[in-house]
Every structure is written in structure tokens, then in C-alpha cells.
Amino acid sequence: MPVPAIVLLGAIAGFTIFLGLPLARMRSLDREVKAFLSMFAAGVLLFLLADVTSKMLEPIQNELAAIGKPGGNIVPGMASLVALVLGLFVGLVGIALLSGRLQGKSEPHEAQAREIRPETLSLFIAIGIGAHNLSEGLAIGQAAAAGSLSLAWVLIVGFGLHNMTEGFGIAAPLGGNPVSWRFLVLLGLIGGGPTFLGTIMGISFRSTLLFVFSLAFAAGAIIYVTLELLGSARKFKKPLCAWGLLVGFLLGLGTDLILTIAGT
């Protein structure tokens, strides 16, 4: 398959995220529905965190396991560990600092009193998902570069379906709030665009450090955003929150299992 066709399909896989974003335009949502949607987003993110962590550790474990073998080199494993720590720091601490600046928080008691705005929360969700999708794009591009076109096709279909559920996760905090189409397009580009970029990069070169860093950054961002979402759950009924978490987690798991059944 020609390279331009692979790149185009990678873009389609990323931009299916737009299919879930119109959820944010739903008006007149009552308090219970908004609570469910917030916890639904948290459920999707909790699954992504588990998925990201397992994929992030796999290459590092392989590199560390090779140290004890003849000709083993400790440098790649240590470099990947540094990329992991740096990605987590930027994704978690960096976004926490950025959140404070965006909300103009200067006093500690003010920071505790205010909640993060829905628009800012959705932006951070999109950033975390975008970092995760960069690694997915890398997987598509590297499969195509290695000549595994059938694998590339399965990845494109699976990631495309998965990104649609991620679009719901981005839109959920905005439900019932006025939001412009321009802002939704920006969120879609941030969340889905990296799949397209990752596909191009994956075809061009292979980088374990970039793969690990992007997943670690995604993990850090997801941890921060999930904590924000779960913090708001204290205001709502616990059974409702539990249902939202369960449905979001199972939906993320279900789309991921499609890839597993396909043999990827």
C-alpha cells in the first residue's frame, strides 16, 4: 500500500474522535446526567491509564531483561526509564502548574476553593489523549513500514473505534455548558491529530524513547484529570458515580478487546 494511503488512513483513525465530540453540544442536561457523564469520562480515562501503563512498561522490561544476557547493554534501559520519569513529571506536575496559571490562582486557599473549569478540564483530557494517540499512530506507521499491512489495517480500524469513545470522554465535562464548535474542533485536533502525526513519524523512523515518553506523558495527564473528575464525585450520589465509572471503563475495555481478538 502506498505511503500516502497509510498516512490518510492514520488520519481517519485519529479524527474519528470528532464523532464523540457533539455530545458537548447537548443542552439542558440535569444534574444527574452531568454527574454520570463526568464519571463516564473518568471510567474511560481509568481504562486508558491501565492500558497506557502496560504498553509503557513493555519495552522497558524487554530492555532491562536484555542486560543480563551476553552483550547486554544497560544504557537503553536506563534511557527509557529516564524518558518515563520525565514524561510522568511533565504530564502530571507540568499540567498541574499549567492549570493553576490558566485559572489565575495565586493563593493556596483560593486554589482549594475553586474547581477547574469544564473547558479547561476537557482541554487537559484532550492533551492526555493526544499523547496516547501519538503512540497509537507510531504503532500504525511502524507496522506499515515493516510491511505488515494486515496489522496496520487492523490497528487503523481498532484505534479508529477506540478514538470515538475517547471523543465522548473529552466532551463529557462540557455537557450542558455553552461551547462553540470552534473550541470542539480545537479539542478534536489536539486529541486526534497526534494519531496522524504519529503515523508519519512511525513510517519515517522508530524511537523507543519517544514511544515511552509519549505514553508516560499521557499517563501523567490522565492521572491529573482523573483526580479532578473523581474529586467532583463527592457532590453526587455514589451509586450514580459508580455506574458512570463502570460504563466508561467497560466501553474502553470493549473497544480494546477488539484489537486483542484481531490478534494484535
Main-chain phi, psi angles of 160, to 5 degrees: -60, -45
- SS3 (DSSP) at 175: coil
Extract the C-alpha cell encoding 37. 457523564
Extract the C-alpha cell encoding 261. 481478538
pLDDT for the residue 15: 85
- The counts of H helices and E strands in the chain are 10, 0
Main-chain phi, psi angles of 50, to 5 degrees: -65, -40
Tell me the C-alpha distance between 18 and 203, whole Å: 24
What pLDDT tens digit does each residue of the chain (264 aa) get?
A: 567 777 787 788 788 888 878 877 776 667 787 778 778 878 888 888 888 888 888 888 888 888 877 777 888 889 999 999 998 998 888 877 876 776 554 444 444 445 678 888 888 888 888 887 887 788 777 767 666 556 566 666 666 766 777 787 788 788 767 788 899 999 999 988 888 888 888 888 777 888 888 888 888 888 887 887 777 777 778 888 899 889 888 887 887 776 666 555
Tell me the C-alpha distance between 144 and 139, whole Å: 9
pLDDT for the residue 107: 45
Extract the C-alpha cell encoding 35. 454527574
235: left (phi over 0), alpha (psi -120 to 50) or beta: alpha
Say what the pTM is.
0.70
pLDDT for the residue 152: 61
Q: Residue 207: how many CA atoms within 13 Å on its side-chain side? A: 21
pLDDT for the residue 211: 82
- Please state, as a whole number, how many other Cβ atoms lie within 10 Å of the Cβ of residue 151: 18
Contact 126, 190 (CB under 8 A): yes
Burial of 180 from C-beta contacts in 10 A (0-12 / 13-18 / 19+): exposed
